[in-house]
Amino acid sequence: MKSAPNLILIGPMGAGKTSIGKRLATRLGLRFVDADHEIERVTGASISLIFELEGEAAFRAREHDVLHGLCQNSDQVIATGGGAVLNAQTRDLLVARGFVLYLAADPDTQLQRLRYDNKRPLLQTPDRRATLQRISDERTALYESIADFRHDTARGSFRMGLERILQHLTAHWSPTQTHATETPT
Protein backbone atom coordinates (compact mmCIF):
# COMPACT_ATOMS: atom_id res chain seq x y z
CA MET A 1 0.00 0.00 0.00
CA LYS A 2 1.37 3.42 -0.95
CA SER A 3 1.03 6.27 1.51
CA ALA A 4 0.76 9.63 -0.24
CA PRO A 5 -0.97 12.93 0.53
CA ASN A 6 -2.72 13.41 -2.83
CA LEU A 7 -4.31 11.47 -5.67
CA ILE A 8 -2.74 12.71 -8.90
CA LEU A 9 -4.27 12.01 -12.29
CA ILE A 10 -2.07 11.85 -15.37
CA GLY A 11 -2.82 10.89 -18.95
CA PRO A 12 -3.47 12.33 -22.38
CA MET A 13 -5.98 15.03 -23.23
CA GLY A 14 -9.44 13.57 -23.54
CA ALA A 15 -8.74 10.66 -21.19
CA GLY A 16 -11.19 11.98 -18.60
CA LYS A 17 -8.88 13.39 -15.93
CA THR A 18 -11.25 16.24 -15.08
CA SER A 19 -14.49 14.23 -15.31
CA ILE A 20 -13.18 11.25 -13.38
CA GLY A 21 -11.20 13.47 -11.00
CA LYS A 22 -14.28 15.41 -9.92
CA ARG A 23 -16.21 12.21 -9.26
CA LEU A 24 -13.33 10.63 -7.35
CA ALA A 25 -12.96 13.76 -5.20
CA THR A 26 -16.66 13.70 -4.35
CA ARG A 27 -16.65 10.01 -3.52
CA LEU A 28 -13.45 10.22 -1.47
CA GLY A 29 -14.36 13.47 0.30
CA LEU A 30 -11.33 15.28 -1.12
CA ARG A 31 -10.84 18.63 -2.85
CA PHE A 32 -10.60 18.57 -6.66
CA VAL A 33 -8.05 20.78 -8.42
CA ASP A 34 -7.54 21.05 -12.19
CA ALA A 35 -3.93 22.15 -12.70
CA ASP A 36 -4.66 23.79 -16.07
CA HIS A 37 -7.42 25.90 -14.51
CA GLU A 38 -5.06 26.82 -11.68
CA ILE A 39 -2.39 27.91 -14.19
CA GLU A 40 -4.96 30.14 -15.90
CA ARG A 41 -6.07 31.57 -12.55
CA VAL A 42 -2.51 32.30 -11.39
CA THR A 43 -1.32 33.80 -14.68
CA GLY A 44 -4.53 35.51 -15.71
CA ALA A 45 -4.04 34.09 -19.20
CA SER A 46 -5.45 31.13 -21.10
CA ILE A 47 -3.28 28.09 -21.81
CA SER A 48 -3.57 28.90 -25.52
CA LEU A 49 -2.30 32.44 -24.99
CA ILE A 50 0.63 31.26 -22.86
CA PHE A 51 1.60 28.78 -25.60
CA GLU A 52 1.25 31.46 -28.28
CA LEU A 53 3.22 34.17 -26.47
CA GLU A 54 5.79 32.15 -24.55
CA GLY A 55 5.98 28.73 -26.20
CA GLU A 56 5.61 25.25 -24.78
CA ALA A 57 8.87 25.25 -22.77
CA ALA A 58 7.82 28.35 -20.82
CA PHE A 59 4.37 26.87 -20.26
CA ARG A 60 5.92 23.65 -18.87
CA ALA A 61 7.99 25.72 -16.42
CA ARG A 62 4.85 27.55 -15.25
CA GLU A 63 3.03 24.22 -15.02
CA HIS A 64 5.77 22.80 -12.80
CA ASP A 65 5.65 25.83 -10.49
CA VAL A 66 1.87 25.58 -10.12
CA LEU A 67 1.99 21.82 -9.49
CA HIS A 68 4.76 22.31 -6.94
CA GLY A 69 2.54 24.77 -5.08
CA LEU A 70 -0.49 22.49 -5.27
CA CYS A 71 1.49 19.51 -4.03
CA GLN A 72 2.37 21.34 -0.81
CA ASN A 73 -1.18 20.55 0.29
CA SER A 74 -2.81 17.21 0.97
CA ASP A 75 -6.24 15.60 0.66
CA GLN A 76 -6.65 16.58 -2.97
CA VAL A 77 -7.39 14.99 -6.31
CA ILE A 78 -5.18 16.85 -8.78
CA ALA A 79 -5.81 16.57 -12.52
CA THR A 80 -2.61 17.43 -14.37
CA GLY A 81 -2.27 18.61 -17.94
CA GLY A 82 -1.46 15.89 -20.46
CA GLY A 83 2.11 17.10 -20.93
CA ALA A 84 3.06 17.51 -17.27
CA VAL A 85 5.09 14.30 -17.48
CA LEU A 86 7.46 15.83 -20.04
CA ASN A 87 9.36 17.61 -17.25
CA ALA A 88 11.56 15.22 -15.22
CA GLN A 89 11.31 17.41 -12.09
CA THR A 90 7.53 17.39 -12.38
CA ARG A 91 7.51 13.60 -12.67
CA ASP A 92 9.62 13.35 -9.49
CA LEU A 93 7.27 15.76 -7.72
CA LEU A 94 4.14 13.82 -8.69
CA VAL A 95 5.63 10.52 -7.51
CA ALA A 96 6.78 12.06 -4.21
CA ARG A 97 3.49 13.78 -3.40
CA GLY A 98 0.84 11.48 -4.73
CA PHE A 99 -0.66 8.20 -5.65
CA VAL A 100 -0.36 8.53 -9.43
CA LEU A 101 -3.35 7.29 -11.41
CA TYR A 102 -2.73 7.02 -15.15
CA LEU A 103 -5.92 7.41 -17.16
CA ALA A 104 -5.15 5.97 -20.58
CA ALA A 105 -6.99 6.59 -23.84
CA ASP A 106 -5.94 5.62 -27.34
CA PRO A 107 -5.74 8.30 -30.06
CA ASP A 108 -9.00 7.20 -31.71
CA THR A 109 -10.88 7.54 -28.42
CA GLN A 110 -9.26 10.92 -27.81
CA LEU A 111 -10.18 12.09 -31.31
CA GLN A 112 -13.81 11.15 -30.76
CA ARG A 113 -13.96 12.86 -27.35
CA LEU A 114 -12.16 16.01 -28.51
CA ARG A 115 -13.91 16.42 -31.88
CA TYR A 116 -15.55 19.73 -30.87
CA ASP A 117 -12.64 21.08 -28.81
CA ASN A 118 -11.02 24.09 -30.47
CA LYS A 119 -9.17 25.44 -27.44
CA ARG A 120 -6.25 23.05 -27.02
CA PRO A 121 -3.06 24.52 -28.51
CA LEU A 122 -1.55 21.18 -29.51
CA LEU A 123 -4.68 20.31 -31.52
CA GLN A 124 -4.47 23.38 -33.77
CA THR A 125 -3.30 21.22 -36.64
CA PRO A 126 -4.85 19.93 -39.87
CA ASP A 127 -4.33 16.25 -38.95
CA ARG A 128 -5.50 15.83 -35.35
CA ARG A 129 -5.26 12.03 -35.51
CA ALA A 130 -1.57 12.14 -36.51
CA THR A 131 -0.88 14.74 -33.81
CA LEU A 132 -2.57 12.63 -31.12
CA GLN A 133 -0.61 9.56 -32.24
CA ARG A 134 2.69 11.48 -32.16
CA ILE A 135 1.91 12.80 -28.68
CA SER A 136 0.96 9.30 -27.52
CA ASP A 137 4.23 7.91 -28.87
CA GLU A 138 6.17 10.62 -26.98
CA ARG A 139 4.36 10.35 -23.65
CA THR A 140 3.00 6.85 -23.03
CA ALA A 141 6.25 5.47 -21.61
CA LEU A 142 6.53 8.52 -19.32
CA TYR A 143 2.99 8.02 -18.01
CA GLU A 144 3.67 4.34 -17.39
CA SER A 145 7.01 5.03 -15.69
CA ILE A 146 5.42 6.96 -12.81
CA ALA A 147 1.97 5.39 -12.57
CA ASP A 148 0.91 3.54 -9.45
CA PHE A 149 -2.18 2.33 -11.31
CA ARG A 150 -3.28 2.41 -14.95
CA HIS A 151 -6.92 2.54 -16.03
CA ASP A 152 -7.98 2.44 -19.69
CA THR A 153 -10.88 4.87 -19.97
CA ALA A 154 -11.88 3.54 -23.40
CA ARG A 155 -12.98 0.22 -21.90
CA GLY A 156 -16.34 -0.22 -20.20
CA SER A 157 -18.70 2.42 -18.94
CA PHE A 158 -17.70 5.54 -17.02
CA ARG A 159 -19.47 4.25 -13.92
CA MET A 160 -17.83 0.82 -14.04
CA GLY A 161 -14.44 2.45 -14.52
CA LEU A 162 -15.00 4.73 -11.56
CA GLU A 163 -15.90 1.77 -9.35
CA ARG A 164 -12.82 -0.17 -10.51
CA ILE A 165 -10.59 2.79 -9.69
CA LEU A 166 -12.19 3.25 -6.26
CA GLN A 167 -11.72 -0.45 -5.45
CA HIS A 168 -8.06 -0.24 -6.41
CA LEU A 169 -7.52 2.94 -4.38
CA THR A 170 -9.15 1.39 -1.32
CA ALA A 171 -6.76 -1.55 -1.51
CA HIS A 172 -3.57 0.26 -2.55
CA TRP A 173 -3.57 3.91 -1.40
CA SER A 174 -3.37 5.35 2.09
CA PRO A 175 -3.91 9.14 2.09
CA THR A 176 -1.40 10.77 4.41
CA GLN A 177 -0.35 14.23 5.38
CA THR A 178 3.36 14.86 4.98
CA HIS A 179 5.47 17.91 5.45
CA ALA A 180 6.13 20.19 2.49
CA THR A 181 9.87 20.00 3.18
CA GLU A 182 9.81 16.44 1.84
CA THR A 183 8.73 17.65 -1.60
CA PRO A 184 11.29 17.76 -4.42
CA THR A 185 11.47 21.07 -6.27
Q: Which residues make Cβ contacts (< 8 Å) with residue 149, sequence separation at least 6?
A: 99, 100, 101, 102, 165, 168, 169, 172
Q: What is the pLDDT of residues 167-185, one digit of tens each?
A: 999 999 988 765 544 555 5
pLDDT tens by residue, 90-145:
999 999 999 999 999 998 887 787 777 677 666 677 788 898 899 899 999 999 99
CA 30 to chain centre: 16
Structural domains in the chain, sorted by start: 12-167 (3.40.50.300)
Percentage of the chain with pLDDT > 70? 92
pTM of the complete model beyond 0.85: yes
Residue 183: strand, helix, or coil = coil
Beta pairing class for 173-175 and 2-4: parallel
